[in-house]
Structure 1
């Protein structure tokens, strides 16, 4: 009997994509606030943009590779969740820096 994962993999993929989109919105705001005035904010914005794009691409690739195989896609492993939490915390600290130094 094969396991039917239902829509859980798609919902997880969409959640990761929302996270990447939120990171990209933060990157745009950091870049906009640092354009012409603060090279540190501009640099932080570029770093966050790269991280967001990497998150988007990596999750899509993992989903496609696992979806083709016989096993159910698992985008919510403990290691990946810890990495995502660290990235979101890092972006939050960047945003806090941008607000405090404004």
Structure 2
């Protein structure tokens, strides 16, 4: 057994790294949700569709990020408990891409909607 492997059914990371990561993903999803909600609110108050559509999309992205975080937490926790390597950066890359798209969308909407 190597120094990196955790014995099957053995002790889990005492620093609770997977739980901290899950909380960070949850905060990211909450930030997306708040941004989408604010855009929906502004669109409703201004009666302007340019705020409503991106707001709804951003809220959908927040739900997707939250679900992805729950699934990733389960995979990472299972891998740590079984001593398997933790792989799979696709959810992280997709969340980063979503953050860029959300930011650009908000900037375009603010700059163009009156």
TM over 0.5: yes
Give the 4+ runs in structure 1 shifted more than 4 A.
Answer: 71-74
Q: 1:73 to 1:29 in 2, by over 3 A?
A: farther
Which segments of 5 or more consecutive residues in structure 2 lack a partner in the other structure?
7-11
Q: Would you say how many aligned residue pairs link Structure 1 and Structure 2?
A: 101
Q: Which has the larger radius of gyration?
A: 2
Per the TM alignment, residue 66 of structure 1 is displaced from its structure 2 partner at its CA by: 4.3
RMSD: 2.4
TM-score (normalizing by structure 2): 0.74
Counterpart mapping for 1:16-95 below 5 A: 16-35=25-44, 37-68=47-78, 70-71=82-83, 74=86, 77-95=88-106
Write the deviation string for residues 21-52 of structure 1: whole angstroms up to 9, x where unpaired.
Answer: 00001001110111152112101100100110
Which segments of 5 or more consecutive residues in structure 1 lack a partner in the other structure?
none
TM-score (normalizing by structure 1): 0.81
